[in-house]
Every structure is written in C-alpha cells, then in structure tokens.
Structure 1
Amino acid sequence: MTATPEQAAAEDTGCGGDPADRGRLHIGRTVVRKIAEHAADQDPGSARTRRRLAGVGLGQHGATAQVSGPDDALRIRLEVALRYPAPVRGTVASMRKRVRSELERITGFRVRTVDVTVSALVPADVTPRVE
C-alpha cells in the first residue's frame, strides 16, 4: 500500500502518530491561575474594584486566584467583588461552575474545589471616577 502525500509529509516532519509520542505538555500554575481569574471576571455578577496603595489609585482589578493541588485535583481559591444588589449565593454558584468548566475544558485538569471569598459589593449603577 502506498502512502498519500499528506501521510508522507506527516511522517517526514514527525507529526504522525499518537500525540503523546511527539512530546510532553506542561501547563504552568500561572496559566491555570490566569484562566481561573478570566473565567471569574466573565461572570455577569462580577465587578472590578479600584486598586489603591497608600491612598494612591493604581487602576482597577478583577478577581484574584490561588491554585494548589495536583493536576487531577486542583483547589482554586478566588477573591472577587460582586455587583450589588444581586443574589450572592446564585452569583457565586454561577461563578464556581464557570471557573470549573473553563479550567477543565482548556487544561484537561480536574478541579476538586472552587472556594470563593466575596471581598466587596459594588453598586451596579456607579459610574467610574476619574483620578
């Protein structure tokens, strides 16, 4: 049997066969943390808060995450600000589900827990101030 041009090219470049045979993939914890933060920030109930240090405005920030545990049982700790008034339990449940599904979809890691600390409630109708 003769190989098609595509199969021959794949064999010449080493791209054929099982993906696990071609090398290894390592996803750093910083990447996992950024994915969790981004997913939490995409939730409609999340809010951004002003960052201040010694009274000086340093811009805004969204959710912050900490990641621990092995790849097959990640533990995620989120600190978030939520829009007010909104049902906190429902918003946090939605955020947990979103973070878990995004991490599992993008990295293939299993998420064991997503702990959420609500650090602020931000009124939904407040316009940003110029500093």
Structure 2
Amino acid sequence: MSQADANGGRLPDPAERGGLDISRVVLRKIAEHAADEVAAGARVRRRIAGVGLGEHGASAQLSGPDQELRVRLEVVLHYPSPVRTTVREMRERVGSELDRLAGCQVRTVDVTVAAMVPAARPRRVG
C-alpha cells in the first residue's frame, strides 16, 4: 500500500524507495554476538606482551555473498561442556540470527574450538 505525500501524490512502497547494504563488520559482529550467547561459550582475557586488553569471546570471519555466507568461528568453551552439542547450537544460532537480523542466508558455519577453560566457580563465603 502506498502512502500519500504532503502534495497528495503517491509515494512508492517503502521496499521500492532504495537499497540497503549492511557492512561486513556488522555481519561479523552479529555472528560473534550470537555465538557468545550460547551458554557454554567463554570469554577470555586478551593480553599482548603482558598488557591486558580486556576480554573477548568468539571471533568470526565471513566470506562469500550475503545469500551464501560462509562463517568461520574461533571460540573458547567452558570445561567441561559437551563440545558437539555446543558447536551445533552455535551454528544454529549464528545462522538464524544472520537471517533474522540481516536477511543473510548462511551456507556454512565452521567452528574451531581454540581452548577450553574451567567454568567459573561461585565464591564461597565463610
């Protein structure tokens, strides 16, 4: 359905008014965030030459066109966690979030588990 402009003329439908390009940086951030939301994923401290640079989670690289996107993830998982189940959940979440938020179709999600770190234990008071 078209809308009327101030002069009473008809404006084109919103989908016909222009294009949309989403930066690869944004797509990469969507993939990383989606992978980080999986419960067994871990954030680790980043250090270079002994200097702390904060924490980081999953790291993603993207290739291919937006309708056949190939994603490569490098992740750190909590130990002990079921690696196959966690990786399957990450693949599904990354694909669905890229489709939902950016309309991209993911062809593959390759996951490299770079490390496993102990799960944080609750502090004991006493």
Q: Do both share a fold (TM > 0.5)?
A: yes
Q: Which residue of 2 aligns with 1:75?
A: 70
Q: Does 1:50 align with 2:57?
A: no
Q: How does 1:39-118 map to 2 (within 5 A)?
A: 39-118=34-113
Q: 2:32 pairs with 29, 37, 42, which one? A: 37
Query: Does the residue aligned with 1:46 lie in a helix, a strand or coil?
Result: coil
On the 8 A contact 1:43/1:94 being kept in 2, the answer is yes
Cα deviation 1:35-54 (Å, max 9, x = unaligned) = 00000011111000110101
Tell me the residue number matched to 1:4. none
Return the letter of the residue paired with 1:12: D
Deviation at 1:21, TM superposition (A): 1.5
Give the share of equivalent positions with the same residue, in percent: 63
TM-score (norm 2): 0.87
Q: Indicate the structure with greater helix content.
A: 1
The 2-side partners of 1:125 and 1:15 are apart by 60
For 1:32 and 1:80, locate their aligned partners in 2 and report how far apart those are by CA, in whole Å: 17
Q: Point out where structure 1 has 5 or more consecutive residues left out of the alignment.
A: 1-6
CA RMSD, 1 decimal: 1.9
Structure 2 unpaired stretches of 5+: none
Say which is worse superposed, 15-24 or 104-113, in terms of deviation: 15-24
What residue identity is the alignment partner of 2:92? Answer: K
1:121 to 116, 121, 124: 116
Instruction: Give the secondary-structure state (helix, strand or coil) at the position aligned to 1:60.
Output: strand
Instruction: Report the CA distance shift for 1:15/1:106 in structure 2 as closer, same or farther (over 3 A).
Output: farther
1:19 to partner: Cα distance: 2.7
